[in-house]
Amino acid sequence: MAVLGAQFVFSITMFSFLQKLSPYYSFGRWILSHRLVRYLHPTDEELKQMAGISGGGGKGKGKRQDFKKMMNSAKAEGFSVPRNLPIQLDTAKVEAADLVQLQYYAEYQWLMDFSLCAVIVYILTEIYYTISQHHIEFNASIMWCLLTIAFCLRILYSQTVMYFHAEEGGERMLCITFGFFFLVLSMGILVVSDGGILEFGLEEGYKNFSEGALLFMRKQGFESHGPMSFMTFKVILIFFCSILGALLTFPGMRLAKLHLDTLKYNKGNFLLQGLLHVNYLLPIVVILLWVRPIGRDVLCGKGMFFGTRYLFDAQFESLRLIVVVIMCILRFLLMPLFMQSHLNLAHEKIEHMKKESGRISSIELQKMVARVFYYLCMVAIQYLAPVLLILFLTFLLKTMGNYSWSVIFGDHVADFFSGYQRLPRRSFLASDNSTLGSILTTTAHFTVTLNDLRAVFTPVWYQGLLSFLMWWVCTAWFISTSFGIMYYSQNTDR
Q: What is the pLDDT of residues 54-99, one digit of tens each?
A: 654 444 445 555 555 555 554 456 788 888 888 888 899 999 888 9
| CB atoms closer than 10 angstroms to residue 231 | 7
pLDDT digits (tens, 9 = 90+) for 143-154: 999 999 999 999
For residues 188-217, average pLDDT: 81
With 0-12 / 13-18 / 19 or more C-beta atoms within 10 angstroms meaning exposed / middle / buried, residue 404 is: middle
Confidence at residue 58, expressed as pLDDT on a 0 to 100 scale: 45
Confidence at residue 214, expressed as pLDDT on a 0 to 100 scale: 80
In whole angstroms, what is the distance from residue 316 CA to residue 314 CA? 5
Confidence at residue 340, expressed as pLDDT on a 0 to 100 scale: 95
In whole angstroms, what is the distance from residue 455 CA to residue 458 CA? 6
The full set of domain ranges for the chain reads 6-49+76-420+449-493
Confidence at residue 398, expressed as pLDDT on a 0 to 100 scale: 93
Q: How confident is the model at residue 421 (pLDDT cuts 50, 70, 90)?
A: very low
State yes or no: pLDDT of 423 exceeds 50.
Answer: no
With 0-12 / 13-18 / 19 or more C-beta atoms within 10 angstroms meaning exposed / middle / buried, residue 327 is: buried
pLDDT digits (tens, 9 = 90+) for 360-377: 888 888 888 999 999 999
Residues near 464 by beta carbon (within 8 Å), at least 6 away in sequence: 200, 201, 202, 203, 204, 205, 206
State yes or no: pLDDT of 476 exceeds 50.
Answer: yes
Contact between residue 360 and residue 83 where contact means Cβ atoms under 8 Å apart: yes
Task: Tell me what percent of the residues of the chain surpass a pLDDT of 70.
Answer: 79
pLDDT digits (tens, 9 = 90+) for 301-360: 766 555 677 788 888 889 999 999 999 999 999 999 999 999 999 999 988 888 888 888
Half-sphere exposure for 290 (CA within 13 Å, toward CB): 26
Range of weakest confidence among 83-87, 212-216, 233-237, 302-306: 302-306
Confidence at residue 426, expressed as pLDDT on a 0 to 100 scale: 40
Contact between residue 5 and residue 88 where contact means Cβ atoms under 8 Å apart: no
Confidence at residue 405, expressed as pLDDT on a 0 to 100 scale: 84
Query: What single letter denotes the amino acid at residue 83?
Result: R
First to last CA, the chain: 61
Confidence at residue 287, expressed as pLDDT on a 0 to 100 scale: 94
Q: CA 275, 280, 283, 284 torsion: positive or negative?
A: negative
